[in-house]
Amino acid sequence: MSIAKALSHRPRLLFLDEPTAGVDVELRKDMWALVERLRASGVTIILTTHYIEEAEAIADRIGIIDQGALQLVEAKDSLMKRLGKKQLQIDLLSPLSMLPPPLLALGVTLAADGLSLIYQYDLMGAGPEIEKLFSEILALGLKVKDLQTGESSLEEIFLQLVSEAA
């Protein structure tokens, strides 16, 4: 009801403070669809939320507040690129008992079961290192079963910033 009342004046600036706290999944989905339509129509929306995955999904710019102090305000894409990490997991057909020195030198780690190589790198780019990694895997005669990639979430970046500030 509060959102409907706020929208009745067709504002150009809308403040939303924890708008999805305590609402069910269907209402939350409908609310975010409305917020997206408002944003597309040119309404500036300032959102405070503890649901970081929601901020990651809809925000253009992110402000992080820790213990009442504004730590940063930055374009989301820039923040994700600057502080995010990417992870490449290479699943092997046969387990390794230890990591070969050429892979260790590249910063690769071995999963506890010996069946996966884990390589983390900055989102700013690791092209030559990845090429070298695959060249070493080929030279070592390792048989690859599967590849998986993952990226830091905004929540992981938030936790990293907060722990650094502490």
Instruction: List, for residues 136-163, the tens digit of each pLDDT value.
Output: 999 999 999 999 999 888 988 888 888 8
CATH fold of the domain at 2-59? Rossmann fold (3.40.50)
According to the model, what pLDDT value does residue 58 have? Answer: 86
According to the model, what pLDDT value does residue 123 have? Answer: 66
Question: With a cut of 70, which residues of the chain have pLDDT below it?
Answer: 123-127, 166
Domain-by-domain residue ranges, the chain?
A: 2-59, 83-156
CATH fold of the domain at 83-156? Alpha-Beta Plaits (3.30.70)
Q: Is residue 131 within 8 Å of residue 121, measured between CB atoms?
A: no
Q: What is the Cα–Cα distance from 120 to 118, expressed in whole angstroms? A: 7
**Considering the entire predicted model, what is its pTM?**
0.66
Most distant CA atoms of the chain, gap in Å:
68
What sign has the CA pseudo-torsion 159, 160, 165, 166? positive
